[in-house]
Chain A
Amino acid sequence: MLNIVKTKIKLYMPLIKSMQTGLLMTTGVAGYMSARCPISSPWTMVGLILSLFLSISGSTVLNMWWDRDIDAKMGRTSKRPLVTGAMTENEALRLGLILSLMGVGLAVWMDALYGLIIFGGIFVDVVIYSMWLKRKTAWGIVWGGVSGGMPILAGRALGFGSIDWIGITLALSILFWIPTHTLTFSMKFFEDYKKAGVPTFPSTYGFKVTRIAIAVSSVLAAIAIGASAMGIGVIVGYMRILIVLSIGLLTLALMSVFNPTEKVNFGLFKYASLYMLGSMLLMMI
């Protein structure tokens, strides 16, 4: 029995994208803690983490289920369990639906507004982004960004009791941060996406425009994070670090515009994740 569980977990792990899920969960927890710090109810915290994990993992699995034909055409994703046949399509669909339903169910049980935002996030991610727009337009990533901003908005709404301007600014910071992350990725794996027929910014508008878009969205993300941090009342010392980290993001974005190299582009991709994680930690503590 234990071996079966172990095997299943090993099989399911690549479907969950642990790094991405972990990062989005961190934003959700940061949103909550921006309104409720120190934590007064450990059970709410446990519920928050669990519901975020289930719903984010669920939507990721559903995306992989839907995109299995694209994944098969791209070298980067061709080893995923749905492509190799290690897992059947139905099993993946069932897993995605069960995780999503459990996540939304728990979220609604905790708080109706929180549950609604979590449901909205899954709907936008799976239906609007993956099923409808991803294969039609390069601008689909905007909707991917909207869904990415939902965990932090939901966390903030759970902690604060309603949707306030800080929650919206926090969600905007994720929305603007996501292009820094995904557009850099789409440049690195340009050929893969082209082979799969997925329209991306580099394939539609060229590399130069994509790099400028990354730089602009980095500026907007830094402004949104700064405004949120001021609204939350982050201590001056942390604000100084936030400014320094934002300057780092802008520097790398400008370097990728004026002096682009493979290393700088992928450095920006990695730094963007680190920047978001660092910003969230600063807003949590």
Chain B
Amino acid sequence: MWFRKRTDKDFRTEVESHIRLEADRLIAEGMPPADAEFAARRAFGNVALVREKFYESRRWLWLEQLTQDLRYGLRTLRKAPAFAVAVVLTIALGVGANTAIFSLMDEVLLRSLPVHNPQALVFIETEGTAGSSGAPPYPCFTRLRAETSAFSGIAAFATDELRIEVEGKPEQVMGQVASGNYFELLGMKAAAGRLMDASDEKLNPPVAVISDRYWRSRFGGDPGVIGKTFSFRKQAFTIVGVTPAEFWGLEPGRPIDITMPISTERNLLADSGAWWFSAVARLNPGAPVTVAQSQTNAVFQSFIADSRQPAEMIRQYFHHLALRPAAQGLSGLRTRFSKPLYALMAIASLVLLMATANIANLLLARGISRRREFAIRLATGAGRMRLVRQLLTEILLLFGLGAISGLLFARSGVMALELLFAQGRRPIIVETNLNWRVLAFTMTVAVAAALMAALFPVLRAFNTDPEEAIKEGQSRTSESRGSATLTRTLVAFQVALTLILLVGAATFVRTLSNLRDVNLGFQNEDVLTMSVELPDGYAQPDKSIEFWNQTLAAVREIPGARTAGLAIFTPLSGRDRGAQIQVRGYEPASVNDTLIRINHITEGYFETLGTELLAGRLITEADAKGSPKVAVINESAARKYFANRDPLGQSIEFLKGRKVDSAYSIVGVVRDTKHMSLREPVPPFAFLPLRQPRDSERRVTLAVTSMLPNGQMSFLQPIRSRIAKIEPRALVSEVLTIRGQVDSTLLTERILSQISTAFGLLALTLASIGLYGVLSYHIGQQRQSIGIRMALGASPSSVALNVMRQSGVVIAAGLLCGMPFAYLAARAAESMLWGVKSTDPMIYMAGIALLSVVGFLSAGLPARRASNIEPSEALRHG
């Protein structure tokens, strides 16, 4: 056993026995017994010293001292519970905020895919000046597989929300089609059953693999799920296996439920003009990326040369193939959230700094009152190092307790954020967990903060002069001039930090409110929308139009329903459709100018949203099969294609390839409504009647308003049951109000403004507590001198004024120092802002005004107390 603890008592017995034996020996040699004992002791030397050495030689001494210090620390904390609770809470908030944000960062920005050697994975993407657009069409992909040697495998995959039927009931899942070698390439083993392999691409029989998440949520983790079937596009797929729990797919935030062989999309596979999937490849060990890059690009260039794409399209979208690191999966989530997350991390660090400064001040004040204790301990022989160690142990204890409670705070905070992310039409699913990185981060942050907070108290402990401290007497504790400056500097520092946080909060709050004030182009946000998807077997447009007619009629009959309409998608839903057009009398300068957004709608749609008609008429029930094809365009389209002309009566010709495929004559112009984002200008739009479709769309959005304010949600059940009566296999999903939809597009702005406001106010509270504490403390210290001044004729009001002036100086110094940093922070955040500039004085004024008022208020009480000092009392009691 390596841990062999010998007791002190055992050692003492040995020493005594030694002396006994030596004395025996001396007596045997003829010494008188009385002298022998003494001589034996003398020969032994200093018994106490030897025992001390023995004590110190023990391996666990430090642990013993640590437990001693901890016990002592806990005892002192228990004697000052208010102090302890205040400090632990402050640290918990500071550390908790940092841990919460870091665990999100860890999940969104730092985590690698849970697959075999993710570093060797790359995505193959087409790139041009307009950005990247996924993998090249499947025929080119097949050539890449055959004609490159740098990869051990290449796999294609595409994800989409799919309607499937399980046990005859429709449901919506996050679906994926993937090459047969997809899982093998990722190096994955099935959690149950088997995963797909290349032979499954034959679809004989069709098989599918489900995710662990879906397995648990849909099938309750039933092991009998293997062998079950579901139907997708009239085909029965047999579930053959479950993917490992940690694998969610290659796109972070969008977990896959079901994976099917890519051959399920057999129509797309042959299409050499369809850009619809992503490609992931594994580099051979030792194969340089540059070689792989030039191999793939060579294949692509020969493919694109044959494609007869216009040169401009090639330059903008299909210029070359690039290999992108795939270790962290597709970058959508990272691109969207990396800036906001860094901003939040910066805010959280400022809050922690703030908390640390507050605690440093509290510790300093406490250190002053404990000066005597330290002095006495020094005088009775404690080493200074031992004292410092004691102090550090106490501070680390506080921060340790704070960090543990902070972890709990962080958990609930992160869960709230996860819920926010999971809202909206396309929920983002992140699941943070307490992994070693998060724990290591929390520990590092807590220890660093503890050391910062401990710096001043420890320095003071080093400089304690026992004689001085004891001489200063029992009842009074005094403070040197230097430490008064120190505590004030700390408060000024807090004021500066608070200013930065308040300015940050002001910019984000303004951004959010500016975006909320953005003219959406429609009046009603209290519109209930839901996606309705028809089952297979509605390939005939007539059949589905019949269904939509019945549905609209049924919904309009629901009591309380005011208006109802249908559209393929609604504003800000994140869905988008485009088509190529030509307009007589308009000369496009580039390919982009021929692109127009299209939506198919019914009568009632614009009425439901409250979109203003600017000219002509809206689409009616009569715009159906057999009547002339009509279109309504938005302002942008009118401005762009009919600059100085009247668009009414003109026509839009839709192109397929280079030929005109259909023409719609314009009957109306409506107000622009925001499309993908509140920040972007509205693109040109053409609204076509749903009953005069250009293509068949089985998935349509139903929009309804209520006569009662906020009554729209009560329609959900009646609508569901009415639709089920018409077609039981129709799938109703993505139920959401337009307001909710707008909110979900403002997700990052909402998170930023809420968190920065909460933290700004927290900082303000801490700063005011800091200022109050320091001023009260100073007044306590200066009681005697204030008393003397008043005895000599100073008026109470001048004393109060003096205190106010002191606090004014501290606040002004803090504001002055904080300003440049607040400006830098606002400038760094500028790309996230909307309608606010870092040079806008308003965002600073608010913070400065708030801090001044709060500073004034928190100085008021101590000032009053100072002016109430009774000179005779103060002088008598000191």
A binds B: no
- Measured CB to CB, the residues of B under 8 A from A are none
